Amino acid sequence: MKVSNNSSASMHIPVQGEIILDLQNAIRLRALELYEHRGRKNGHHLDDWLQAEAELTQRRTKMVAA
Rounded Cα distance, 24 and 49, in Å: 10
Rounded Cα distance, 33 and 43, in Å: 15
pLDDT tens readout for residues 34-65 = 999 999 999 999 999 999 999 999 987 777 78
Rounded Cα distance, 12 and 24, in Å: 20
3-state secondary structure of 12: coil
pLDDT tens readout for residues 11-20 = 877 777 787 8
Domain-located, residue 4: no
Range of the domain at 34: 14-65
Q: How much is the pLDDT for 5?
A: 53
Q: What amino acid is encoded at 14 in this protein?
A: P
Domain-located, residue 9: no
Domain-located, residue 44: yes
Domain-located, residue 8: no
Rounded Cα distance, 7 and 2, in Å: 14
Confidence (pTM): 0.68
Counted domains in the chain? 1
Domain-located, residue 21: yes
